[in-house]
Homo-oligomer: A and B are copies of this chain.
Amino acid sequence: MPITSIKGNQMPPSPIRKLVPFAEKAKKEGKKIYHLNIGQPDIETPETMINAIHNFSQKVVEYSHSAGIESYRRKLTKYYSRYNIELDYTEIMITTGGSEAIEIAMMSCMDPGDEILIPEPFYANYNGFSTQANVKVVPIRSTIETGFALPPISEFEKLITPKTKAIMICNPSNPTGYLYTKDELEKLRDLVKKHDLWFFSDEVYREFCYDGNEYHSVMNLKGIENNVVMLDSISKRYSACGARIGALVSRNKDLMATALKFAQARLSPPTFGQVAAEAAIDTPDEYFVKVKSEYVKRRDFVVKSLNEMDGVFCPKPSGAFYCIARLPIDNADKFCQWLLEDFAYDKETVMLAPATGFYSRPDLGTDEVRIAYVLNLNDLAKAMKCLSEALKVYPWKNAKTCIDE
C-alpha cells in the first residue's frame, strides 16, 4: 500500500472542524448543539444575492475569466472606494474564497523554506496554507492581557532572518476580534519598508468594527504600495460563506501577473457565486446597520456572560465576531471534546474551538477557547448557560487559572 506524503501528515487538522465527528455523534444521540466553534453566521444572506441566483439567466454555466468576471471586478472597485481604497479593476483578482487568495498569495511570493511572521493567536488555517506551500510560520505572541494588541516591533525585528519574506495580519482579527490602530499599522509599514517584505493583510471583517473604532486598510499605507497584498472574501460581509468568493488585491503588477498563472491552472472561480457577489454590492446600507447592531448586542452579551463566570476572563473585542476567553480548565482540546461527548445541560451543549489550534506552539492557548458569536441572542443565552454549567462540573480544573504564566 502506498503511503501518504510527509506534507499530508504534517498538515494540521482544522481546530475548528476536527471535533465535527464528536458533534455528529452527539447529534445522533439527540443532543442539541450550539455551534460557537465556527464563523458561520445565522444572519440571512441579502436578498439581492439570492435574487441574482434565482434569476440566473445563462443557458451554459461557463468558466469565467481566470481572474474573475470583468464586470464584477469593475464593480468591486466601487465597493472598495467606499472605504477610500482606490483601485483599478486589474488590481483585483477573484478567488475561490479568501482561502484561495491566501494560498495563491503565499505561492506567488514565497518558496519552500521561506519564513512568514504572524502575530499569534492567528486564524488556524494560516498553518494549513503554510504547510501546503512548505513555508515556515514564525509566530510573535500577543497576549490576552493586552486584548491581543500588536506586540512591540522589537519582537518582530528579533525574528527577521534572510529567509523572512512576509508579514501577515488579520484586521479586524479572527480569532481575537482585535482591530489594529492606525499607529500600529504605520509601525508595521516602517518595518515592511525597512526589510522590503511582503505585507499580507486579511481584511474580510472590515464591515464589523464597533464602538466607533475605525478600520484602516493596509492598502492606504503610503510608501509600500508594491509590498501590500490584501486578502478578502464576501463570506462574512454578506453571510455567504458557501458562495466561496474571495479576492486577492495588490498594486504590484509582477505579483498580479504571477498570481494569474496560479489562477489559470485552476481555470476560474465559481460562476454562480460571482454572479451573486456582483449583485451583493447593491445591498442597501440598512442591511449592514442592522447586522452590525445585532453583532454588538451579541458581543456585549457574550463578553459580559463570560466575565461573570467564575475564573473566566474575556477581553472585549472591537471587531469581527469572535472573542477569545480564558477558562479555568486544564486543556482546551479535552474540554471542548468533553462538552460534546460527556456533558449535557437540558439535553443541550455548546461547541467551541480550542484556542490551541490558533497558536503555533503546542503549549500556548491550552486554557483558552475561541467563541464565534454567530447565533441569535436566545441561542447565545442557552449556549452561555451550558458553558457556565459545564465549567461547574468539568472535572479537570486548571490550578494556574488567572495566574499569569
Contact = CB atoms under 8 A, between A and B. Distances in A.
Interface of A: 1-9, 11-14, 17-18, 20, 38, 40-45, 49-50, 53-56, 58-66, 96-97, 99-100, 103, 107-112, 114, 125, 128-129, 132, 134, 165, 196-198, 226-227, 239-244, 252, 254-255, 258-259, 261-262, 264-273, 276
Nearest to A262: B11
B2 A61 contact: no
A266 B9 CA distance: 17
B53 A5 contact: no
Contact of A270 (B96, B252, B261): B96
Given A3-B254, A5-B114, A61-B242, 15 more contacts: A2-B198, A4-B258, A7-B107, A8-B109, A8-B262, A17-B66, A42-B60, A50-B56, A62-B241, A63-B242, A125-B265, A241-B267, A241-B268, A242-B268, A244-B269
Contact of A110 (B5, B61, B97, B271): B5
B264 A8 contact: no
Contacts of A50: 56, 59, 61
Contacts of A265: 11, 14, 99, 125, 128-129, 132
A41 B53 contact: no
A225 to B, nearest CB: 9
Nearest to A227: B2
Nearest to A134: B112
Contacts of A197: 2
